[in-house]
Chain A
């Protein structure tokens, strides 16, 4: 009993602390299921493209320049989200706000470029099977980017309200990992839709 007593009688953190918070575990579980969703989307793409009777993609190989730049922008925004949390953990709240702001601007830039990419396509969602796949997959990703941006905006607001400090900022950790997930998934989407046809 005294052993148990010793085990129990220690100071413990209270509430949402970093990776001990329920929310951190929750977001990891959510990422598992969202990751599976993209897995099934890409499975559908490969399943249908492998059985395509005409050449694939029907409109010829996609141009790589703009999407590659856009990929770099999205990755950069992930770095800034990480930096924002890094600053906060080192008591540099202003730095944290600035980093988050940059991350959001980069994320928004990604959305803008992606919209331009969409409008430059000669096909639409309903014109053929490839169009259905292309716009559904990138559309799903776009939806996740937009949700991610809303989350980043909330985080920005909360940091500027000085809700968080070096000890307590689980929300940033949790929101941040979601954004990293959205960015990593893009690498798979990009590889499938843009690089795979070249192979």
Chain B
């Protein structure tokens, strides 16, 4: 190697990485494990930056929020099971439906997908971690603290109560005097920080961290989905964070942004909220659609039909998604010309969805389906996706939306979208990747029960909501009179929702049973095509003993595919060893040619402390403990300095520097 001709100090800045093999049990593999494994005990628990651990934490935490939000929904369904019931007071009902929405949309739907992507991205891309492992930890901790923050006032009976889109002036200082909305506003700003840093991490990881040879047209669709969602988050999260911050200023400082008496405009809130809100809806379904696009082919024994079209459709959805926020505001009295344009755009957005639907059906049709539990969830998802999509098309027609808007028709639509396109793929995804997560298979028999009970309960519960909406039932009413003709549909919905809940319970039982007694899974129990199935289950801390070299879209099916993107000879056993500390390879954004040896930071508790101090600063703002807030922000800055301090071990500093710190 040419390194011999260079002075030795140079290898710290530039070297030819060793290429070789590191089978399990070899010296090299043992050394890698030592380098990458976290410390045992609570110290390691607090400071780990392993994307797999963080990913699982995300999934578990988000699922807990799903269960909390689900219980809130069940209580509401009891209240609405018949006319004029008095289980809940109006105020209790309003807090429950608000927290249900906040929980499901902000604390469950995106975080669970971030969990999947955190766990799977490096494994799918052939990397040893995300680009910013510490940022990843920070993103999780802030998400957790923000979730706790938003629930802090719930036990006091002062939870947010103005609905998840929180329209002013009802959420403003005059009509909502308690701490309810402040908790929501500050919590959302805090959560926005978590989502933003998470999105930065995904975007940079996609562009920098793919295994050599994994050109941009070889990445799994889940990666496209999460990338699209993350780019959108970077562009629109500031809008909602700003809206909530301005609202907080109005409430606590006395500014006038939404203050009608002084020239403030309630519609400014609706614009800022929906500029964020609509892309967000796509952000919480596109990665889930990616889960299906990647996992469905495994059970059809053939690659996805129309990979390029589906990838393009994913991005096209988001591009159009930026232009349609007004369709949440059709009834605000905007001029008809503006409504026409936004209505037409809202129709257009279903074209990319059609691409995806026909790609999935073609994949099933042309393939040979294997009826395992995950497949049932993915196939069922296709139907729910179509129903949710069609009801969405109905609301795109402006005059019809003037009727449908704010009725149970919308509630039905959004639950078909969020449960159908998010929860079903997520549960299917858990069935699918559970062996990778834990090394054990989930039980098939209980699995099929869980699917059928969930699927039937879901449709029994939510399909009648369409009818309730067509019968004129407005959303967000805590009760109704029997002369309105809504008794039967509501009773059926309530029964269906409990059946659905039983299905979720069966799933949880399956998880619990399989964790202890599931049959052991090999590295690739489903005979799938993507890279995460090339490593042991569960994967070792370092993910890949050697960095694979990728020559096709389906590295594990190459021996059995003989045309198209299937051709090529990926090298999975032999590749870069990279073991001088935590290292992985950085590649070029499009062609994935090796560019740089990246030094990955070790475990660190600073992300936890930065997250903690930041969250405490927000708590101080809530309680008006201004000096405490100042102290926490200062602590946060100091922790960030520690975090950012350039390290020699990461080659962030000149290796020849002569400073006192040289011995570090």
Are B204 and A154 within 8 A (Cβ)?
no
B403 within 8 A of A: no
Are A161 and B257 within 8 A (Cβ)?
no
**B570 nearest in chain A by CB position:** A4
Are B658 and A162 within 8 A (Cβ)?
yes
Which of B137-145, B235-243, B431-439, B533-541 forms part of the interface with chain A?
Answer: B235-243
B498 within 8 A of A: no
Taking the closest CB of chain B, its distance from the CB of A47, in whole angstroms, is 6
A112 within 8 A of B: no
A59 within 8 A of B: no
* Given the contacts A33-B200, A129-B264, A171-B652, A11 and B3 also touching, CB distance less than 8 Å: yes
Are B13 and A15 within 8 A (Cβ)?
yes
Chain B residues within an 8 Å CB radius of A54: 263
Q: Mark B255-294, 1 if CB is under 8 A from A, else 0.
A: 1110100111100100110010000000000000000000
Taking the closest CB of chain A, its distance from the CB of B658, in whole angstroms, is 6
Are B656 and A165 within 8 A (Cβ)?
yes
Chain A residues within an 8 Å CB radius of B597: 12-15
Are B659 and A48 within 8 A (Cβ)?
no
Are A25 and B131 within 8 A (Cβ)?
yes
B212-228 residues at the A interface, CB under 8 angstroms: 212-213
Q: In the assembly, what is the distance between CA of A128 and CA of B265, in Å?
A: 13
Chain B residues with CB under 8 Å of chain A are 2-3, 11-17, 19, 131-132, 135, 196, 199-201, 203-204, 207-208, 212-213, 234-239, 241-242, 246, 249, 253-257, 259, 262-265, 268, 271-272, 275, 549, 551, 569, 571, 575-576, 585-586, 593-599, 637, 641, 644, 646, 650-661
Chain B residues within an 8 Å CB radius of A125: 253-255
12 additional contacts, CB 8 Å, given A9-B16, A13-B13, A13-B595?
A4-B213, A8-B576, A11-B14, A15-B650, A20-B586, A21-B596, A25-B208, A33-B234, A125-B255, A154-B641, A158-B646, A161-B659
Chain A residues within an 8 Å CB radius of B660: 161
Chain A residues within an 8 Å CB radius of B249: 132, 136
Which one, B19, B204, B255, contacts A29 given CB within 8 A?
B204
Chain A residues with CB under 8 Å of chain B are 1, 4-5, 7-17, 20-22, 25-26, 29-30, 32-34, 36-37, 39-41, 43-44, 47-48, 51-54, 125-126, 128-129, 132-133, 136, 150, 154, 158, 161-165, 167-171
Chain A residues within an 8 Å CB radius of B203: 25, 29
Q: In the assembly, what is the distance between CA of A121 and CA of B256, in Å?
A: 18
Chain A residues within an 8 Å CB radius of B596: 12-15, 17, 20-21
Are B234 and A36 within 8 A (Cβ)?
yes
Are B651 and A129 within 8 A (Cβ)?
no
**B637 nearest in chain A by CB position:** A150
**B196 nearest in chain A by CB position:** A33
Chain B residues within an 8 Å CB radius of A7: 212-213, 549, 593-594
Which one, B242, B593, B595, B656, contacts A37 given CB within 8 A?
B242
Chain A residues within an 8 Å CB radius of B654: 162-165, 167-169
Taking the closest CB of chain B, its distance from the CB of A7, in whole angstroms, is 7
Are B575 and A8 within 8 A (Cβ)?
yes
**A160 nearest in chain B by CB position:** B659
Are B268 and A48 within 8 A (Cβ)?
yes
**B658 nearest in chain A by CB position:** A162
Are B549 and A8 within 8 A (Cβ)?
yes
Are B13 and A29 within 8 A (Cβ)?
no
* Given the contacts A30-B200, A47-B268, A167-B654, A129 and B132 also touching, CB distance less than 8 Å: no
Q: In the assembly, what is the distance between CA of A12 and CA of B549, in Å?
A: 16
Are B265 and A47 within 8 A (Cβ)?
yes
Chain B residues within an 8 Å CB radius of A25: 131, 203-204, 207-208
Q: Which of A10, A22, A136, A169 has the most CB of B within 10 A?
A: A22
Taking the closest CB of chain A, its distance from the CB of B9, in whole angstroms, is 11
Q: Pick 27 A–B contacts, CB within 8 A, sort by A.
A: A7-B549, A8-B17, A12-B14, A12-B596, A13-B14, A14-B14, A15-B651, A16-B650, A17-B13, A17-B651, A22-B204, A25-B208, A29-B199, A29-B200, A37-B238, A40-B242, A44-B268, A44-B272, A47-B265, A48-B268, A125-B253, A129-B256, A132-B256, A154-B641, A167-B654, A168-B13, A168-B652
Chain A residues within an 8 Å CB radius of B268: 44, 47-48
Chain A residues within an 8 Å CB radius of B253: 125-126
Are B254 and A51 within 8 A (Cβ)?
no
Taking the closest CB of chain A, its distance from the CB of B660, in whole angstroms, is 8
Are B657 and A162 within 8 A (Cβ)?
yes
Chain B residues within an 8 Å CB radius of A53: 263
Chain A residues within an 8 Å CB radius of B641: 154
* Given the contacts A154-B644, A165-B654, A14 and B264 also touching, CB distance less than 8 Å: no
Are B246 and A168 within 8 A (Cβ)?
no
**B243 nearest in chain A by CB position:** A40
Chain A residues within an 8 Å CB radius of B656: 165
Which one, A8, A15, A51, A128, contacts B652 given CB within 8 A?
A15
Chain B residues within an 8 Å CB radius of A168: 13, 651-655
Taking the closest CB of chain A, its distance from the CB of B408, in whole angstroms, is 32
Are B132 and A26 within 8 A (Cβ)?
yes
Instruction: Please list the 4 inter-chain residue pairs (A to B) with the smallest Cβ-Cβ separation, ordered nearest first.
Output: A15-B651, A37-B238, A132-B255, A165-B654
Chain A residues within an 8 Å CB radius of B264: 48, 129
Chain B residues within an 8 Å CB radius of A40: 238-239, 242, 272, 275
Q: In the assembly, what is the distance between CA of A20 and CA of B559, in Å?
A: 35
Q: In the assembly, what is the distance between CA of A26 and CA of B132, in Å?
A: 9
Q: In the assembly, what is the distance between CA of A51 and CA of B658, in Å?
A: 62
Chain B residues within an 8 Å CB radius of A162: 654, 657-659
Are A32 and B235 within 8 A (Cβ)?
yes
Chain B residues within an 8 Å CB radius of A14: 11-15, 596-597, 599, 651
Taking the closest CB of chain A, its distance from the CB of B613, in whole angstroms, is 16
Are A11 and B661 within 8 A (Cβ)?
no
Chain A residues within an 8 Å CB radius of B235: 32-33, 36
Are B599 and A48 within 8 A (Cβ)?
no
Q: In the assembly, what is the distance between CA of A22 and CA of B196, in Å?
A: 16
Q: In the assembly, what is the distance between CA of A43 and CA of B237, in Å?
A: 15
Are A126 and B255 within 8 A (Cβ)?
yes
Q: In the assembly, what is the distance between CA of A10 and CA of B585, in Å?
A: 13
Taking the closest CB of chain A, its distance from the CB of B584, in whole angstroms, is 10
Which one, B19, B257, B259, contacts A8 given CB within 8 A?
B19
Taking the closest CB of chain B, its distance from the CB of A91, in whole angstroms, is 11
* Given the contacts A40-B239, A128-B263, A136-B249, A22 and B208 also touching, CB distance less than 8 Å: yes
Which one, B238, B275, B549, contacts A4 given CB within 8 A?
B549
* Given the contacts A4-B549, A167-B654, A168-B654, A33 and B599 also touching, CB distance less than 8 Å: no
Are A163 and B238 within 8 A (Cβ)?
no
* Given the contacts A4-B551, A15-B652, A36 and B571 also touching, CB distance less than 8 Å: no
Q: In the assembly, what is the distance between CA of A126 and CA of B262, in Å?
A: 10
Chain A residues within an 8 Å CB radius of B201: 26
Q: In the assembly, what is the distance between CA of A12 and CA of B259, in Å?
A: 58
Taking the closest CB of chain B, its distance from the CB of A172, in whole angstroms, is 10
Q: Which of B200, B259, B659 has the most CB of A within 10 A?
A: B200
Chain B residues within an 8 Å CB radius of A51: 263, 265
Are B242 and A41 within 8 A (Cβ)?
yes
Q: In the assembly, what is the distance between CA of A168 and CA of B11, in Å?
A: 13
Which one, B2, B12, B200, contacts A11 given CB within 8 A?
B2
Taking the closest CB of chain B, its distance from the CB of A44, in whole angstroms, is 6
Q: In the assembly, what is the distance between CA of A22 and CA of B65, in Å?
A: 33
Q: In the assembly, what is the distance between CA of A62 and CA of B246, in Å?
A: 24
Q: In the assembly, what is the distance between CA of A21 and CA of B647, in Å?
A: 14
